[in-house]
Amino acid sequence: MRRSMLFIPGNNPGMLQTAEVFDADSIIFDLEDAISISEKDSARNLVKYFLTSFNLGKKEVVIRINGLDTLYYNDDLDAIVNDNIDSIMVPKANIEELNKLSLILDKYEEKRLMKKKIKLIPIIELASSLLEVEDIAKLKRVDGILLGAEDLTSDMEVERTKEATEIFYPRAKIAFACISEKIDAIDTPYTNTLDEEGLYKDCQLAKSIGLNAKACIHPNQVDLVNEVFSPSKKQIEYAKRVIDATLQNENKGAFSLDGKMIDKPIIERCKKVLEKAKRFGLLR
């Protein structure tokens, strides 16, 4: 369960060192787009040795590797697959390559006597991948799917706009696919790092469609993303009251609270609110 995932370029020692300071649920160490070809090896080594020396506590450690259609992914995997990481983010993902990657990871996990089973977070960046997204969501290692709107709109040859109408369908499709498999539906980053109001509106829109988390490309975006994708104080208080009232009305299918009917769907929603609140340390 995530709210915010912060991208950190793998070749920047200063940024690696301060990544843990921010309240992102996941840190994505990027070996792909943010790294020029001449820096690929140094980024790979820097991230590898950084993760050996630094403990990022409860934060999820994600590595965005280079795509399986490149020359670099094998070296990426060789360097970073170990118990220091939690997940691998896969660019331009499709079913075939995800299955291939899963088999490679099986071998690494066995050979390196790993305690962890590495999770996969595919990025949907191609129209063809979007059409496969329901199957992708079903894959065993996949526990979240990220919409990569910049590449996807490029593939579609449509303009990427602030209003984001062009990505309504991909957002909704990913949300449905993920929710049905109880995995995270992660929204595309908001690329204007100075536009706080725009980020807020974009988060609200994504949330209203059903996505539950968002990738961040700047640390200053994290708090706002967390705020939008966390249950509010009001929601938490209400959920607590509903659950308390449920315990007092154990044998009733439905009962009344503040003059409103409380039945199973509301109770389930409240349970989810409290589960999220607990996960994100919002319960006092």
Q: What does the alpha-carbon distance between residue 86 and residue 98 come to, in Å, rounded to a whole number?
A: 16
Nearest distance, CB of residue 29 and other proteins, angstroms:
17
Contact 95, 63 (CB under 8 A): no
Q: Say whether residue 18 binds other proteins (CB under 8 A).
A: yes
d(CA 142, CA 119) in angstroms, rounded, equals 6
Residue 154 found at the interface with other proteins (CB under 8 A) = no
E strand or H helix that includes residue 121? strand 119-124
Question: For the window 191-220, what string marks contact with other proteins as x by the rule CB under 8 A?
Answer: ---------------------------xxx
Provide the minimum distance between the beta carbon of 230 and other proteins in the complex, in angstroms, as a whole number: 13
CB burial class (10 A; 0-12, 13-18, 19+) of residue 244?
exposed
Site for other proteins contains 279 (CB under 8 A): no
Contacting residue, 21, 71, 113, 247, with other proteins by CB under 8 A: 21
Q: Which is nearer to other proteins, 14 or 259 (CB)?
A: 14
Q: Which is nearer to other proteins, 220 or 232 (CB)?
A: 220
284 binds other proteins (CB under 8 A): yes
User: Mask 218-257, x = binds other proteins (CB under 8 A)?
Assistant: xxx--x----------------------------------
Please work out the total of residues on this chain that contact other proteins, with binding judged by CB under 8 A: 10
Q: Which is nearer to other proteins, 126 or 216 (CB)?
A: 216
Phi, psi of 187 (to 5 degrees): -80, 155
CA distance 47 to 63: 9
CA–CA distance, 28 with 24 (Å, rounded to integer): 10
Q: What is the C-alpha to C-alpha distance for residues 1 and 147, in angstroms, rounded to an integer?
A: 16
Residue 198 contacts residue 162 (beta carbons within 8 Å): yes
Residue 261 binding other proteins, by CB under 8 A? no
* CB 7 to other proteins: min, Å: 13
E strands within 126-257? 144-147, 184-187, 213-216, 255-257
Q: Which of these segments, 18-26, 126-134, 230-238, 246-254, binds other proteins (CB under 8 A)?
A: 18-26
Name which of 22 and 73 has its Cβ closer to other proteins: 22
Min. distance of Cβ 194 from other proteins in angstroms? 8
Do 150 and 188 meet the contact criterion of CB atoms below 8 Å apart?
yes
Q: Which of 2, 7, 10, 22 touches other proteins (CB under 8 A)? A: 22
Nearest to 225 by CA among 13, 14, 24, 15: 24
Interacting residue ranges for other proteins, rule: CB under 8 A: 17-18, 21-22, 218-220, 223, 281, 284
